[in-house]
Amino acid sequence: MKYNLVTLFITSCSLFCIGQNDGVFFEINYNTFSHNSLKEFQQEFINDVSEVELTVNDNFPANIGFTLGYNFNYTNAAIFLSYNTTGGKISYSDYSGILRITQPLTAFTLGGEYLVHLSKTNNRFNLGLRGFGMFSLMKIESYTQILDDKRTENIRFNAINYGVGSRLIYSYPMSFFILKASIGFDLTFGGNLKFQENNDFQLENDRGEKVKTNWSGLRTGIGIEIPL
């Protein structure tokens, strides 16, 4: 799926890259994520292992992401491909052994954006209206060591989210590129985590509710666009 997204992105660029005022852009993003369902699921791990006092090391925090895109300036539209990552981790260790559970989560996003110019004199301020799809991969890795006995177990999941968003974009022309900064909010839907080995089964919490990814949250970015 990851490679299909990349192939589709490159193919789209090659089909439509004909405008003289088009541009390629790259952004570094800092994003907050909801992931309330995953946070509650991690808390259930702690509650289920009452014999030891587990420590929360990571609880699906905000993190750095990356975006690569192509602007079709003649039509005020753009396509983009993004990568985001976060995760959870709980652990316990003492003289007798180690218990560690990690849940790395990554997402690949393919989407489109329509730009609304907010100034009639220049295009420094724009409103971006976005729609996108996300493919997420999560892995639950458990590691236990009691004296000389070591055990490792990995379970893999995937999920699909759809989302919409808006952001305010500021552009400042430099010598041969355009400096860009943005702030906005994304709202995502779906995200049921399915077992990779059998997509007929989904991850559920102790109450029988489906555990979901939720990439909704604040999205900021800074980057450059190179006009073509």
Q: What is the pLDDT of residue 201?
A: 93
First to last CA, the chain: 30
Query: Does 183 fall in a domain?
Result: yes
Residue the block writes with tokens 């900064």: 181
pLDDT at 10: 52
Report the domain count for the chain. Answer: 1
pLDDT tens digits, one per residue of 167-220 = 999 999 998 999 999 999 999 999 999 999 998 999 999 999 999 999 999 999
> Quick one: average pLDDT of 4-31?
68
Tell me the whole-structure pTM to 2 decimals: 0.84
Please tell me the predicted confidence (pLDDT) of residue 19: 45
Q: Is residue 95 part of a domain?
A: yes
pLDDT band for position 104 (50/70/90)?
Answer: very high
Look at residue 163 and tell me whether its pLDDT is greater than 90.
Answer: yes
DSSP string, 147-216: TTEEEEEEEEEEEEEEEEEEEEEEEEE-SSSEEEEEEEEEEEEE-B-EESS-TT-B-B-TTSPBPB----
Q: What mean pLDDT comes out for the span 62-71? A: 95
Q: Is residue 194 in a domain? A: yes
Residues spanned by the domain of 199: 2-77+90-168+175-227
Domain contains 82: no
Residue 121 lies in a domain: yes
Q: What is the separation of C-alpha 226 from the centre of its chain, rounded to a whole number of angstroms? A: 24
pLDDT at 49: 82
Among 148, 149, 144, which residue's Cα sits nearest to residue 49?
Answer: 144
**Structure confidence by residue, pLDDT tens digits, 18-38:** 445 799 999 999 999 889 999
Q: Taking all residues of the chain, what is their mean pLDDT, rounded to a whole number? A: 90
What are residue 12's phi and psi, to 5 degrees?
Answer: -60, -40
| Inside any domain, residue 55 | yes
Determine, yes or no, domain membership for 51: yes
Residues 105-130: what's their mean pLDDT?
92
70 within domain boundaries: yes
